[in-house]
Amino acid sequence: MQRDPVTANDPAPSSERPSRSPAESSPELSAEANGSPSRPAAGSSIHDLVERLEANISQVFLGKTEVVRLCVVALLAGEHILLEDVPGVGKTLLARAIAHSLDGRLCRIQFTPDMLPSDIVGSTIYNSQSNEFTFTNGPIFANVVLADEINRTTPRTQSALLEAMNEGQVSADGTTHSLPSPFMVIATQNPFEFEGTYPLPENQLDRFLLRTRIGYPSRDDERRVLRNHRTGEPVERLRPVVDCEQVASLQAATRNVRVDAAIEDYILDIIEATRNCDDLHVGVSTRGMLGLYRAVQAYAISNRRDYVVPDDVKALVVPVLAHRVISRSYRHAGERDVIEALVRRLADDVPAPE
Each residue's pLDDT tens digit, 54-75 = 999 999 998 899 999 999 999 9
CATH topology of domain 2-252: Rossmann fold (3.40.50)
Each residue's pLDDT tens digit, 184-193 = 999 988 776 5
CB 86 within 8 A of CB 92: no
Candidates 321, 310, 303, 263; CA nearest to 76 is 303
Residue numbers of the chain with a pLDDT score lower than 70 = 1-44, 192-195, 330-334
Architecture of domain 257-349 in CATH? Orthogonal Bundle (1.10)
Question: What distance in Å separates the CA atoms of residue 82 and residue 210, rounded to the nearest whole number?
Answer: 6
Beta bridge partners of 137: 122
Pairing of strands 184-189, 81-84: parallel
What does pTM read for this prediction?
0.82
Amino acid 81: pLDDT = 96
Q: How many CB atoms lie within 10 A of CB 176?
A: 10
Which run of H or E residues covers position 99?
helix 91-101
Amino acid 120: pLDDT = 93
Question: What distance in Å separates the CA atoms of residue 295 and residue 289, rounded to the nearest whole number?
Answer: 10
Amino acid 44: pLDDT = 60
Amino acid 334: pLDDT = 55
Question: What distance in Å separates the CA atoms of residue 165 and residue 170, rounded to the nearest whole number?
Answer: 9
Ranges of H-type helices in 181-328: 202-205, 219-228, 244-255, 261-275, 286-302, 310-321
CB 199 within 8 A of CB 151: yes
Domain boundaries, the chain: 2-252, 257-349
Question: What distance in Å separates the CA atoms of residue 2 and residue 86, rounded to the nearest whole number?
Answer: 29
Within this chain, domains 2-252 and 257-349 share the same CATH topology: no
